[in-house]
């Protein structure tokens, strides 16, 4: 048989029983395709790569909300004003990221494929806790590059139908070494996260409506942009607003541009009378 008679055919590895993890399959057969496994030469550090901040999540009455500003910076320069930092991972899970933009986008795509591959192989969706563990493993595989300046710190939020009523919106944070931590109520990542968490600490309360949760997220991102130059606030002139998405029993939904714009303008108008934002409820 001529050598190119096999051209276009799948290799034997595709028909051999193995792991339900797409990442492990790729690592075994085509490791060069995994961007999280590539390490820079010794002594080399990545300088000037675009970085994205700030992202946050909070639970509310119907599930969980996840949001992010749109700015990416490259040193002291604004590299991009309309970066998308919040992405669906599957129907009931979303991932947002802070850190090295190129690697983060690769990590998001790999996470999407990983969850889809598992469901096709096993015939059932992965549990939310297992999704967080798989994402933690991907981050740990990127540790070499993180130590050379290409760190990615994602935020995972999802709706867990197996959780008790009132606690089905769940949030997971991570560190650059792949540590996985469940967060309760709210959490934020990125260089503006201390200011965003401070705002959410005074604005969050259990059982918020979707509108209240969205306004709280927008207020938190505004506070982050107010004190962190790497975080971008709502740009009314260019009509660039934060990305806000919710995950409920009905699945993932990104708020429309019209809804986000309306609430962003309402929030900015409130700030004209109270520049430091609303007080904590008593």
Return the active site residues: 53
3-state secondary structure the chain: CCHHHHCCCCCHHHHCCCCCCHHHHHHHHCHHHCHHHCCCCCCCCCCCCCEECCEEEEEECCEEEEEECCCEEECCEEEECCCCCEEEEECCEEEEEEEEHHHHHHHHHHHHHHHHHHHHHHCCCCCHHHHHHHHHHHHHHCHHHHCCCCCEEEEEEEECCCCCCCCCEEEEEECCCCCEEEECCEEEECCCHHHHHHHHHHHCCCCCCHHHHHHHHHHHHHHHHHHCCCCCCCECCCCECCEEEEEECCEEEECCHHHHHHHHHHHHHHHHHCCCCCCCCC
């Amino acid at each position: 048989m001529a050598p190119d008679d096999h051209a276009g055919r799948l290799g034997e590895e595709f028909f051999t029983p193995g792991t339900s993890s797409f990442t492990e399959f790729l690592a075994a057969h085509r490791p060069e395709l995994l961007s999280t496994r590539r390490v820079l030469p010794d002594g080399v550090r990545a300088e000037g790569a675009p970085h994205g901040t700030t992202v946050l999540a909070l639970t509310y009455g119907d599930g969980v909300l996840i949001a992010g500003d749109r700015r990416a910076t490259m040193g002291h320069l604004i590299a991009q004003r309309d970066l998308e930092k919040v992405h669906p991972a599957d129907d009931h899970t979303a991932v947002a990221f802070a850190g090295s933009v190129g690697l983060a986008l690769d990590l998001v795509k790999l996470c999407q494929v990983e969850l889809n591959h598992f469901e096709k192989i096993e015939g059932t969706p992965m549990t939310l806790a297992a999704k967080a563990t798989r994402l933690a493993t991907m981050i740990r595989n990127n540790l070499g590059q993180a130590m050379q300046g290409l760190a990615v710190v994602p935020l995972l939020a999802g709706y867990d139908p197996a959780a008790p009523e009132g606690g089905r919106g769940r949030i997971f944070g991570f560190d650059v070494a792949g540590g996985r931590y469940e967060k309760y109520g709210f959490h934020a990542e990125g260089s503006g996260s201390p200011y965003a968490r401070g705002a959410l600490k005074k604005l969050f309360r259990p059982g918020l409506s979707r509108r209240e949760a969205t306004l709280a997220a927008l207020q938190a991102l505004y506070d982050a942009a107010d004190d962190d130059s790497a975080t971008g606030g709502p740009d009314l002139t260019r009509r660039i607003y934060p990305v806000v998405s919710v995950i409920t029993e009905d699945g993932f939904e990104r708020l429309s541009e019209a809804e986000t714009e309306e609430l962003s303008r309402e929030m900015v108008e409130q700030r004209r009378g109270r520049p430091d934002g609303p007080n904590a409820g008593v």
